[in-house]
Amino acid sequence: MSIITQTPRMIIREFQPDELDVYLNHFKDERVTLHIPKRTRDERTTIFNIARNQYNDTKTRGIWGMFDAGTGDFIGSCLLRPFNEKQDIMELGYSMEQRYWGQGFGTEMAVAIIERGFSDTKVSEIVAVTTFENHASQRVLAKAGLVRDGNLRRGDEDLAFFSLKR
């Protein structure tokens, strides 16, 4: 198991093969999936397996699990991936179990992942998007240093766009 980064309360690390069900069960909660792209169980399984395969290639981009440092409980997942195929701009994304909402874990994760992203000297900017209604995530992004920079159209949806330049 490879730890990507750690905070006093959270470990962000690669998912283990036996954690597929933990990952999939996370997306059964409609409150968790309200503001993220809709995917089938099979699509999420494919995403998990691709992420696991990519662990051999990179430690600065991917999908990782967030776990409570004290209990080991699953908090959620986060990602850092190239934005619109641009290798110098990374997109931050995440989802969290509801019981961890409103406790600062989102901001803690975002700050740690941004730091991790900028550890790659080729990365010039980190961006994130949210639905307009997802005010909690917008506050998380702002507290982590990202600034609202207009809107972005992704597919058929308009999203709030945030960015942080190096």
Please state the rounded mean pLDDT for residues 28-39.
Answer: 85
Which residues 6+ apart lie within 8 Å of 107 measured at CB? 140, 143, 144
What are the strands, taking DSSP E only, across 43-121? 62-68, 74-83, 86-96
Domain enclosing residue 46, as ranges: 3-165
User: What CATH number did the domain enclosing 128 receive?
Assistant: 3.40.630.30
Please state the pTM of the whole predicted model.
0.91
Residue pLDDT, tens place only, 36-87: 888 999 999 999 999 999 998 877 789 999 999 999 999 999 999 999 888 8
Residue pLDDT, tens place only, 85-125: 888 999 999 999 999 999 999 999 999 999 999 998 899 99
Tell me which DSSP letter residue 150 carries.
Answer: E
Give the model's confidence band at 33: pLDDT under 50 very low, under 70 low, under 90 confident, else very high.
confident
Residues 32/38, Cβ–Cβ less than 8 Å: no
Q: Give the total number of structural domains in the chain.
A: 1
Among 4-18, 29-43, 116-130, the least confident range:
29-43
- Please tell me whether residue 127 adopts helix, strand or coil conformation: strand
Measuring CA to CA, how many Å separate 90 from each of 60, 79, 84, 97?
10, 9, 9, 24
